[in-house]
Amino acid sequence: MDNIENVQVEHISKRKRKKYFTAYAFCTPWFIGFVSFTLFPIIFMVYTSLTNRKLNGITHFIGLQNYANMFSSTTFWNSLKVTLFFTGVMMIVTTIWALILAMLLNRKQKLNGIFQFAYFLPSVIPTVALAYAFRTIFGKEAGLLNSIISMIINKNVQINWLYDQQTVYLAVFFITLFTYNTGQMMLIFRSGLNDVPIELYEACDIDGGGFAQKFFNITLPSISPIVLFNAVMGCISALNGSFALLFPLTGESGNPNGMTQVLSLLIYKEAFSNMKVGYACALSVVLFFIASLIGIALFGISKKFVFYEN
């Protein structure tokens, strides 16, 4: 009796082992890629941040000196502040705008297809082209926006949108509404809104609920996992994509006066204009840290507010 059982047990684990092996085999491309293109560069990045490597390759080990310099540099703290501010606001602004557009599109009206085309098309424009287009739209003397406002108010208006401290953030956040990430969010919201069971809305109608009640008590909770997903994507996009948007728009110094100098711009500037690769790696470590913190924070919030249909 024992022998047969043992043989059966052995047989099962062999099959399982074979199954595991197949699973791992399918995962090997990812594994190789992860180690070579992610893990190894991360380790190298942390190592380089402890040196004073320059762009031409000379390097000496200097321990935590880069970090000490970094924490005593006003440029760094300004950049950190700008990055956090920018990421947070961009995430909120684009998510809300995407939700509004999605809700508008979900009202099945005539010519909806054309509206979706118009809303989504800016997303497929390369970010660089978008940045240049807006740089001229926001131009001071010959900008489109200034002339439209002048026409409306009937006075010659020459607002220096991108160089005036008070208007630069308005301009930049306006531009983020046109990025790929916003368009993507809009489509995801659309499908999420479609999935909300209509019975819930009808029940609310019967109970005499108005628009606000429907929105806050039904719509939002139902799409909360999507809101979370979009928030995470929004953060990633703000940390990553801000480079492609801000570099052509404001240059590497984040004019005016460093107000748009997010960490990604500063990393580029330090590595390629100042040749301080070691320092740039230290900045990258900090950026990496921030991304992880934001990710963890968002998932922590999700445990509290997100309502899964389980």
- Options 1, 124, 198, 206; binder of other proteins; rule CB under 8 A: 124
Residue 89 or 163: the one with the smaller Cβ distance to other proteins is 163
Q: How far apart are CA 47 and CA 126, in angstroms?
A: 34
20 makes contact with other proteins (CB under 8 A) = yes
58 lines the binding site for other proteins (CB under 8 A) = yes
Select 22 or 213, whichever has its Cβ closest to other proteins: 22
Report the residue number, 91 or 254, with the smaller CB distance to other proteins: 254
Tokens representing residue 59 in the block: 């390097």
Which residue in the set 13, 33, 68, 77 belongs to the binding site for other proteins (CB under 8 A)? 33
Using rule CB under 8 A, residue 267 touches other proteins: yes
Alpha helices in 141-255 (DSSP H): 144-153, 165-176, 180-195, 198-206, 211-213, 220-222, 224-250
User: Rounded to the nearest 10 degrees, how much is the dihedral formed by the CA atoms of 275, 168, 130, 233?
Assistant: 80
Chain centroid to CA 38: how far?
Answer: 19
- Of 8 and 308, the one with the shorter C-beta distance to other proteins is 308
Q: Kindly report each contact of residues 71-79 with a partner whose C-beta sits within 8 Å and lies 24 or more positions away, as own/partner.
A: 75/258, 75/261, 75/266, 76/266, 76/283, 78/258, 78/261, 79/254, 79/258, 79/261, 79/262, 79/263, 79/265, 79/266
Q: What tokens were used for 207? A: 């109970």
End-to-end CA distance of the chain: 45
Question: Rule CB under 8 A: is residue 173 a binding residue for other proteins?
Answer: no
- Identified binder of other proteins from the candidate list 9, 42, 297, 301, rule CB under 8 A: 42
Nearer to other proteins, 58 or 92 (CB): 58
Q: What tokens does 96 get?
A: 């809300």
> Is residue 220 a contact point for other proteins (CB under 8 A)?
no
**Cα–Cα distance between 172 and 179 in angstroms, integer?**
11
Q: In sequence order, which ranges of the chain are alpha helices (DSSP H)?
A: 2-33, 40-48, 65-71, 74-106, 112-120, 127-137, 144-153, 165-176, 180-195, 198-206, 211-213, 220-222, 224-250, 263-268, 277-305
| Per-residue mark of binding to other proteins, 140-159 (x: CB under 8 A) | xxxxx-xx--------x-x-
Instruction: Name which position in 1, 4, 114, 152 contacts other proteins (CB under 8 A).
Output: 114
Smaller CB distance to other proteins: residue 4 or 294? 294
138 contact partners, CB below 8 Å, separation of at least 6: 145, 161, 162, 171
Q: Which of 10, 30, 92, 170 binds other proteins (CB under 8 A)?
A: 30
Kindly tell me which of 3 and 155 has the beta carbon lying closer to other proteins.
155
Question: Which residues are registered as beta bridge partners of 51?
Answer: 61
Stretch that binds other proteins, among 4-12, 53-61, 88-96, 199-207 (CB under 8 A): 53-61
Shortest Cβ 205–other proteins spacing (Å): 11
Considering only residues 93 through 112, tell me which ones interact with other proteins, judged by CB under 8 A: 101, 104-105, 107, 109
For other proteins (CB under 8 A), the number of binding residues is 129
Q: Of 3-11, 117-125, 196-204, 212-220, which segment contacts other proteins by CB under 8 A?
A: 117-125
Task: Report 178-197 residues binding other proteins (CB under 8 A).
Answer: 178, 180, 184, 187-188, 190-192
Q: Does the footprint of other proteins cover residue 167 (CB under 8 A)? A: no
Amino acid in the structure at residue 132? Y
